[in-house]
Structure 1
Amino acid sequence: MRYMANYDFMESIRNTQQWLGATANSMASYPAFALMPNPALHWMAAWGQVTERAFERMVVKPDWGIRSITCNDGKDHLVSVNPVVERPFGDLIHFEVLGREEQKRKVLLVAPMSGHYATLLRSTVVSLLPDAEVYITDWHNARDIPVSEGKFDIEDYTLYVVDFMKELGPDINVIAVCQPAPLVLAATAYLAEIDPSAQPNTLTLIGGPVDPNATPTEVTDFGHSVTMGQLEELMIQRVGLRYKGIGRRVYPGLLQLTSFISMNAERHAQAFSDQIFRVMAGEASEHDHHNRFYDEYLAVMDMTAEFYLSTVERIFKAGEIASNDFVVAGHKIDIGKITNVAVKTVEGENDDISAPGQCVAALDLCTGLPDELKASHLEPGAGHYGIFAGSSWRNNIRPLVLEFIDANTGGSKTAKTGRGKGAAKAKLAVAK
């Protein structure tokens, strides 16, 4: 599969399905057919509309769509999305709330690079904006990055995070969601050794595979059941003629989407069947629940081949983070060097992607960190997405994370020296 022809073939299939949907909708909606009402034609038009939209969204990067936010002053403030650092493989962006004083809380959300865009965390951003200055890593689609920009693997990813944290300064509070959790932990340890003053105040790890073998899942079982040669042969292709990254080796987004859907194929099929009948009945709308969810879910991005393969080989197979043997740019990282950054883990009881036990393993790796600077939370009944974007996040986890941040933040200097007995008691209370 490691050829441009395979990539272009998959794109041709997607494009054909989009065209078939558009054609069916156009033909079945021909005005003359209104003289002879026919349920089959109504179904055909609805199928075409739903199909065209679904396959079109697969190659479109979603917009953030955050126009304004209601703040604690009771007023609506416009939101501007501004780049802070622009790099070939990803940018650091800031959601500036216009007309509002700068917030004391500064939060860096590290978005996952696991098939979807950073906009997957849109609801997470919206929930934090009223109470914090929010920054996020906006990773780029590998198909749009020329080969001349070089490689991008998990070491490069880690160094990007290091640079972003150094750019924002020591008053930042980092929240890593899912895939980046082990790499953000490593980035913090890297800073602890080379530039301690640039470490963040707090580090919150949400549902990430710090130790994938702590609690095996289908994801970890797959990682152990295939060889690296098989993965490279089956999953890696070269970007085709249509995009700037022509010739770059990638794990294509369309191939990833096939895997995502196959995990819950029956549920997705039922969702699209229901949507077709809603369109027929005139009950669907541009921004109904189905369209909001699938506009985001179907929008996938290519990962560089080296990032995907090194993640599987070094994080899942070799467990380099879990065994504290991770090396970045020739430097062996020691997670035990983290001594004054408060660390909190969040897990979902029903998480079938990063099961409970995988993320909380980070606390055991922080051997140099006092217990009062460690905290963990297991959310009852929550699945993977619920712990950062669902009701569990909004109602339970978000308040706990903000309390944790406040308990361990007191300015860049005091944040690094413990802030006295009162702060230590507050941190211990949050940890419990």
Structure 2
Amino acid sequence: MRNMMTYDVMETVRNTNQWLGATAQAFASYPVYAMIPNPAIAWTAAWGEVTERTFSRMVVKPSWGIRSITCADGKDHIVEKEIVVEKDFGDLLHFKVSGREKSQRKVLVVAPMSGHYATLLRSTVNSLLPDCEVYVTDWHNARDIPVSCGKFDVEDYTLYLVDFMRHLGPDTHVIAVCQPAPLTLAATAYLAEEDPDAQPRSLTLIGGPIDPDATPTEVTDFGRRVTMGQLEFAMIQRVGFKYKGVGRMVYPGLLQLASFMSMNAERHSKAFTDQIQRTAKGDASDHDPHNRFYDEYLAVMDMTAEFYLSTVERIFKNREVARNVFTVNGKKVDIGKITTVAVKTVEGANDDISAPGQCIAALDLCTGLPDEKKASHIEPGAGHYGIFAGKSWRNNIRPLVLSFIDANSPKPKPNAANSNAAA
């Protein structure tokens, strides 16, 4: 079958490297070698440990690892993860904080489907939990979805978001991070026409390619240079027999990871060399900065071929959202129909993936929205990752987003006890 062998060859290479690492570590760790004062032995064991961990992480979905949080009452509360909407290609997760009254801020975090799992937003979710009732879109790895479940493209993605918003109701505040920003904007506009009562109260778009041509980057230039035929021939493969999705056409996560690594090959190479040296000296640990970062960065997932190709063609090449001509099931979605949902954009001044200008374009598309319901922020010195995680997010952007949510939430009604006391 077309490209199935290529998929299996990639998996074989990954599996072989994992085995070589484990073998080298086991071989160089024999007690008898401790009597030989040769640093090459320790280096071999270290190389094996780092190599095995690197290649094994590529096929493991990371854990959310959010077990408890400290709330405003100063107490630690257990966090329980529950699926509230279950679908073939993705679930709606709720992080339930035990022993705490439901927060008035109900937030839906729309995670990207761009090669990594939703757990990439772990620190974002963790930072919101003390102050919000948090829901997250948890997209599934395409290689694990049987062909019988059908297709999944940008229109299906948009309709999934529509269903999630309907389920959560009109008091929801949506935060879309990176790739889903244009489709989340389209889903909101779809609801504005089809089901106005289900619209969220606010929409925060963080570093998303609403208009990729507003400020071209290497990512958008690549989409322009390559034809769709070339892209399909070079990037699309068929899942092998090892996984439940056997036969499904996908854009493999391993291929995406190779692209990520090649963009900063020298930096990654130095990081791994340094980690081997630290491991050989006994200075590394399971939870050191290198392992924390790469355990997440290396964990990649396959995307359905139709989602990847339609994203490139319709969002980047044809700029359907940017030109306000995006359609769902043959019906045009008019972003100008958004008249009540407050919209805020967040961009990083040093973002080299979705550069400043691409996301703020959403505000010009919202022609039916009054200016007082529009807001924007450019974070100085922040790159793409920094606008939703790290110091810039925690110290500057998160407080602004929460203030925006509060400004567009209904004022709490005083309860009867307070009213009587006031009387």
Q: TM-score, normalised by structure 2?
A: 0.97
State the alpha-carbon separation in 1 of the partners of residues 233 and 271 from structure 2: 33
Residues 1:385 and 2:392 are matched in the alignment: no
Q: Which amino acid in structure 2 is aligned with residue 326 of structure 1? A: F
- In the alignment, structure 1 segments of 5+ residues that lack a partner are 414-432
Q: Map 1:33-182; keep pairs closer than 5 Å.
A: 33-182=33-182
Q: Give secondary structure in 2 for the equivalent of 1:367.
A: coil
1:290 aligned to 2:298? Answer: no
1:201–1:412: 8 Å Cα contact kept in structure 2? no
- The CA distance in 2 between the partners of 1:231 and 1:321, in whole Å, is 21
Q: Look up the match of 1:248.
A: 248
Look up the SS of the partner of 1:170 in the other structure: coil
User: In 1, Cα distance between the equivalents of 2:406 and 2:379?
Assistant: 21
**Partner SS, residue 41 of structure 1:** helix
Give the 3-state SS of the residue equivalent to 1:138 in structure 2. Answer: strand
Distance 2:102 2:162 in 1: 24
Alignment partner of 1:85: what SS?
strand
Structure-1 separation of matches of 2:373 and 2:412: 16
User: Does the 8 Å CA contact 1:171/1:411 hold for their aligned counterparts?
Assistant: no
Q: Does 1:303 align with 2:281?
A: no
Q: Distance in 2 between matches of 1:359 and 1:121?
A: 19
- How far apart, in 2, do the equivalents of 1:272 and 1:256 lie? 19
Q: Which residue of 1 aligns with 2:409?
A: 409
1:272-310: CA deviation from partner (whole Å, max 9, x where unpaired): 011101111111111111111000000000000000000
Amino acid paired to 1:275: Q
- Check conservation: 1:171, 1:412, Cα contact below 8 A: no
Report the counterpart of residue 420 of structure 2 in structure 1.
none
Partner residue, 1:325: 325
Letter in 2 for 1:43: W
Q: Is the aligned partner of 1:364 residue 2:364?
A: yes
Query: Counterparts of 2:309 and 2:36 in 1: how far apart (Å)?
Result: 57
- Per the alignment, residue 423 of structure 1 pairs with none
Distance in 1 (alpha carbons) for counterparts of 2:118 and 2:152: 17
* Aligned: 1:353 with 2:353: yes
Provide the C-alpha distance between the structure 2 equivalents of 1:224 and 1:412, rounded to a whole number of angstroms. 49
| 2:418 aligned residue | none
Q: Partners of 1:280 and 1:312 in 2: how far apart?
A: 44
The correspondence of residues 147-296 of structure 1 with structure 2, limited to 5 A, is: 147-296=147-296
Flag the 1:247–1:412 CA change in 2: closer, same or farther, 3 A: farther
Aligned to 1:3: 3
Over 3 Å counting, the alpha-carbon distance change for 1:318 and 1:64 in structure 2 is same
Pair 1:166–1:10, CA change in 2 (3 A): same
Cα distance in structure 2, aligned partners of 1:139 and 1:331? 25
SS in 2 for 1:345: strand
| Cα distance in 2, alignment partners of residues 275 and 76 from structure 1 | 34
The aligned amino acid for 1:256 is: Q
C-alpha displacement of 1:37: 2.1
Separation in 1 of the partners of 2:228 and 2:35? 60
How far apart, in 1, do the equivalents of 2:285 and 2:96 lie? 30
- Indicate the residue corresponding to 1:28 in structure 2: 28
The code of the aligned residue for 2:172 comes to: I
Look up the SS of the partner of 1:74 in the other structure: coil
Aligned length, in residue pairs: 413
Separation in 2, partners of 1:403, 1:293: 30
Q: Distance in 1 between matches of 2:329 and 2:389?
A: 34
Letter in 2 for 1:343: V
Q: CA deviation at 1:159?
A: 0.1
Once the two structures are superposed, the pairs formed by residues 332-347 of structure 1 within 5 Å of their partners are: 332-347=332-347
**Matches of 2:122 and 2:34, distance apart in 1:** 41
Deviation (angstroms), 1:380: 0.3
Aligned CA distance change for structure 1 residues 2 and 220 (closer, same or farther; 3 Å) = farther
Task: Give the deviation of 1:412 after TM superposition.
Answer: 11
- Matched position secondary structure for 1:81: strand
Give the secondary-structure state (helix, strand or coil) at the position aligned to 2:362: helix
Offset of residue 212 of structure 1: 0.2
Structure 2 distance, partners of 1:325, 1:185, is: 13
SS of residue matched to 2:129: helix
Cα distance in 2 between the residues matched to 1:270 and 1:69: 35
Instruction: Report deviation, 1:35.
Output: 1.3
The residue type equivalent to 2:192 in the other structure is A
SS of the aligned residue for 1:340 comes to coil
Deviation at 1:3, TM superposition (A): 1.3
In 1: Cα distance, 2:36 partner to 2:264 partner: 39
Distance 1:113 1:128 in 2: 21
1:27 partner amino acid: F
Identical pairs, percent: 77
Q: 1:412 to 1:330 in 2, by over 3 A?
A: farther
1:411–1:310 CA distance, 2 compared to 1 (3 A): farther
| Rounded Cα–Cα distance in structure 2 between residues aligned with 1:139 and 1:36 | 50
Contact 1:349–1:379, Cα closer than 8 Å, also in 2: yes
Question: Shift of residue 2 of structure 1?
Answer: 4.4
Q: Does the 8 A contact of 1:170 with 1:412 survive in 2?
A: no
Change (3 A) 1:38 1:264: same
* 8 Å Cα contact 1:2/1:233 also seen in 2: no
The separation in 2 between residues aligned to 1:120 and 1:386, in whole angstroms, is 12
Cα displacement (A) at 1:411 = 6.6
Alignment gaps of 5+ in structure 2: 414-423
SS of 1:131's equivalent?
A: coil
Provide the C-alpha distance between the structure 2 equivalents of 1:87 and 1:236, rounded to a whole number of angstroms: 24
The 2-side partners of 1:128 and 1:208 are apart by 20
Q: State the match for 1:315 in structure 2.
A: 315
SS class of match (1:57): helix
CA shift at 1:127, angstroms? Answer: 0.3
